[in-house]
Chains A and B, each alone.
Chain A
Amino acid sequence: MKNSSNNTNSLTDKDVQHVASLAKLALTKDDIKKFQKQLSEIIHFVAKLNELDTQDIEPTSQVTGQENIFRDDVVKKSLTQKEALANTKRKYKGYFVVDAIFD
C-alpha cells in the first residue's frame, strides 16, 4: 500500500475505498470509518514484524523446500456438465449465468 509507508501505518479514507472497490464491495460512509480504524489496527499489528532483525534472512515465499513439481501432460476425466453446474443457482443450457457484464 503506497500510502502506508509512513510511521503511523494508518489508512486513509481513500485507501479503504480503493481496497473496497478492488473487492467489489460497496461501503457506506460509516463503513469506511469503521474499516479505516479496524484495518489500520491490523496493519499496525502486522507492522510489529518490522521490529525483528531480518538482515541476514533471505526472503522466501516457499517453506517446503520443494522445487520442480510438475505433472505429465496426460488427460484425466473431467466432471460432467451436470456435476460442474450442481452448486449454482443460475444456469442456462449448460452455462453458468451471472448478471450482464458490459465490456
Chain B
Amino acid sequence: MNESKHEPIIGLEIHMELKTNSKMFCGCRADWFGQEPNTLTCPVCLGLPGALPVPNKKAVEWCVMLGLALGCEIPLFSKFDRKNYFYPDLPKGYQISQYDQPLAVNGWLEIKSPTKTTGDEDTSDGGEATTSTPPRWRDRKRIRIRRVHMEEDTGKLLHAEVDGQKCTLIDFNRSGVPLVEIVTEPDIRSSEEARIFLKKLHQIIRYIGISDADMEKGSMRLEPNISVRELKSAQNTSEVTRLPAGRQGRGSSDGEGIKEDLPNYKVEVKNINSFNFAKKAIDYEISRHIKLLNNNEIPPQETRGWDEKKGITYSQRSKEEAHDYRYFPEPDIPPIRWTESQISQLKSQIPELPDQKVHRFMAEFSLSEYDATILADIQETAKYFENALSITPGVSLGLSRGSRITPKTIANWIINKRADITKTTPEELVKLISQKSQVVQMDEKELEAIIKKVLSANPKAVSDYKSGKEQSLMFLLGQVIRETKGKANAEQVKQKLVQLLKYPGV
C-alpha cells in the first residue's frame, strides 16, 4: 500500500574498459585478463617517477564515438584532470580522469519503458535529435546522459593469506587500461527500467565494437545510485516521470508536470557485475529506503556493497569519509581541441545502431517490431539475416511472388532457430528454406484428391462439422496430414480443407 506513495529515483554510473591494443597512457598491452601478474607494466602504469603519460588516440576517439552514439554534444575543448586519493591499486596516488570538461555531455538514450505512462504527449518535441535518429515510439522514455568521459583503470587487488598473515596482493596489469565512464541523470524510476537501460547501452557498445563489455571479466561495471521520494498525491506520478528530453531540464519554462525536487540523500551501490544483480540491488535498496522513510527516518547517504550470495547490500564503512579528490588539471597532458570536421568524421564511423536497424527492417522488409528487434539484438544475427536476404532470388527486389521465400520466412527460420546460424552459411540457409518450402507447397491437385478421399471416408465428422462442431475439423485435419505423410504444411491443408467442406463441388 505504502509503495504507491513512494517513487524511486535512480541514476546509473557505468564503467567500461575499451578493447584497444595498448593502454590509455602507455604502450603496454591492454588485454590484461588471464595474464601472469605484473607482466604488462612499465614506468607509466606503475606510477614510477619521471614517467610521461601520452593519451591513446584511438581510446579518445572511441569515447567520443560512444558519446555521439548516445546523442551527446562533443565540446570542442576537453582536458584531463588528476583525481587524488590513496589506495594500493593506484600507484601514482592519483587517477588520470576528467573533471569539469569531459569529452561528451548532455546526451540521452531511449528505452522501451516497462510501465505504460498515460498522457504521454511529448512525442513531437523533436529538434534536439540528430538527423539519423529514428522516430520515437510512443511507449519510449528517454534517459538523459549527463556525461561520458575518459579515464584509466586501476590495478587489481586480491585478498590472500601468505604465511598465515592476511594481506593484499596487487597486480598492475590492469593499471592504465582505458576506461570510459558513463553517467546518467536520475531519470530512472524502477529497477526494471534500469535493467532495460543497461542492456541497451551494452548492445550499443557492442555494436560500435569498442569494448567486449564482458560483465564476467569485469570489463563493464555498474554503480546504481538510489533514493526514494515520497509523493504528495498519487496522481502526479506519471507526470513526474516524464522528464524533458535532452538538455538540463531542471526548471522547464511552464511548471507543468516537471517537479524536480530530488531527495536530499542518495545511496550508491558499488561494482555490480550483472544486469540482474543491479536490478536486485536496486529493489533491495528501494524497499530498505521505504521502510526507513515510513519510520520517519532519512536513509543515510553512503556507499554500499552488494553481497550476491545473500542478495543484500551492506554499508561500506571504509569509504564513508567524505570524498575530497582535490581535482586539478593534469599538467603532463596538453588539452584536446577538436575541429568540427574531426567530430563529423568520427560520427560517420558509427555503424547503424540497433534502433535504426529495427526501423529499417520494419520499413524495408515489412517485419513486425518484435521480429525486427530480435534480429537486430545482436549485430551478427542482423548481418546474417541481410546476407541471406541478399542472395535470395526475387526478395531483394521486393518480388516475393516468384520466390516463395519472403523476408518474414527467413526471419522466422533465424528467430525460431530452425537452423544453427553459427554453422550454416547464409547460402546454405536459403537453399534449405527453398527445399523445405517446395515440399511444403504440395501439389494442389494431389492434396485435393487426398482431402476428398478423407472426407468421403468420414461422413460423420463431416456432418458434425457442418452442424457446428469445430473439433471435427481438427480430426479431419489430422487425418489428411497423416495421408500426406507430412509433406503438406498444416496451414495449407487447413485452408484447402475448409474450402472443400464449404464448397464440396469445386
Interface residues of A (CB under 8 A from B): 18, 21-24, 61-62, 64, 66-81, 84-85, 92-103
Contact yes or no, B318 A24, CB < 8 A: no
CB-defined interface of B81-104 with A at 8 Å, one 1/0 digit per residue? 000111110000000000000000
Q: Contact: B36 with A70, CB < 8 Å?
A: no
* Bound CA–CA A9/B182 (angstroms): 38
17 new A-B contacts at CB < 8 Å, known A76-B27, A92-B167: A64-B334, A67-B336, A70-B54, A70-B60, A71-B27, A71-B57, A75-B21, A75-B22, A84-B172, A94-B37, A96-B169, A97-B169, A97-B170, A100-B167, A101-B159, A103-B305, A103-B318
| A61 & B331 in contact (Cβ 8 Å cutoff) | yes
The answer to whether A73 and B22 have CB atoms under 8 Å apart is yes
Interface residues in B124-175 (C-beta closer than 8 Å to A) = 157-160, 162, 166-172
Within the complex, the shortest CB–CB distance from A87 to chain B, in Å, comes to: 9
> Taking the complex as formed, is B26 at the interface, i.e. its CB lies under 8 A from any CB of chain A?
yes
Contact flag A73-B20 (CB < 8 Å), given A24-B86, A84-B46: yes
Which of B57, B86, B318 touches A23 (beta carbons < 8 Å)?
A: B86
What 8 pairs across the A-B complex have the smallest Cβ distances? A76-B27, A61-B329, A95-B169, A70-B57, A73-B58, A66-B334, A96-B170, A100-B166
Question: Given A71-B27, A101-B168: A22 and B324 within 8 A (CB)?
Answer: yes
Which residue of the partner chain, among B41, B333, B336, contacts A79 with CB atoms under 8 Å? B41
A73 and B88 within 8 A (CB): no
* Complex alpha-carbon distance, A76 and B30, angstroms: 11
Q: Which residues of B contact A98 (CB under 8 A)?
A: 88, 167-168, 170
Structural contact, A75 and B324, CB atoms closer than 8 A:
no
> CB within 8 A of A74: which of B22, B172, B335?
B22
Nearest Cβ distance between residue A14 and chain B, in whole angstroms?
12
Residues of A contacting B58 with CB < 8 Å?
A: 72-73
Interface size on B, residues (CB 8 A): 55
Chain B contacts for A18, CB-based, 8 A: 324
CB distance from A41 to the nearest CB of B (A): 20
**Residues A102 and B318 in contact in the complex (CB < 8 Å), given A62-B334, A70-B60, A94-B36:** yes
Q: How far is the CB of B159 from chain A (nearest CB, A)?
A: 7
Q: Is the CB of B159 within 8 A of A69?
A: no
Q: Is B59 an interface residue (CB 8 A)?
A: yes
Inter-subunit contact A69/B26 (CB<8 Å): no
What residue of chain A has the Cβ atom nearest to residue B331's Cβ? A61
List residues of chain A with CB within 8 A of the CB of B29: 75, 78
User: CA A80 – CA B173 in complex, angstroms?
Assistant: 11
- Closest Cβ of chain B to A12, distance in Å, is 15
15 of the cross-chain contacts (CB-CB < 8 Å) are A24-B86, A67-B335, A67-B336, A68-B337, A70-B57, A71-B57, A73-B58, A74-B22, A78-B39, A81-B37, A81-B39, A94-B39, A95-B37, A96-B169, A97-B162
Cα distance A79–B28 in the bound complex, in angstroms: 9
Give B333 Cβ to nearest chain A Cβ, in Å.
7
With A22-B324, A75-B28, A84-B46 as contacts: A70 and B55 at CB distance below 8 Å: yes
* Bound: A61/B46 CA distance, A: 25
Is B27 within 8 A of A81, CB to CB?
no
A80 and B57 form a contact (CB under 8 A)? no
CB distance from A64 to the nearest CB of B (A): 7
* Contact present for A93 and B37 (CB under 8 Å): yes
Query: Known contacts A71-B55, A75-B28; is A62 also within 8 Å of B36 by CB?
Result: no
B56 contacts the other chain (CB 8 A): yes
Q: How far, in angstroms, from A49 to B79 measured CA to CA in the complex? A: 25
| CA A74 to CA B20, docked complex, whole Å | 9
Contacts of B169 in A (CB 8 A): 92-93, 95-97
Q: How far is the CA of A23 from the CA of B169 in the complex (A)?
A: 22
Q: Known contacts A68-B337, A73-B56, A76-B26; is A96 also within 8 Å of B172 by CB?
A: yes
Whether B162 contacts A101 by the Cβ 8 Å rule is no
CA distance A26 to B172 in the complex (A): 28
Given A97-B169, A98-B170, residue A21 in contact with residue B42 (CB < 8 A): no
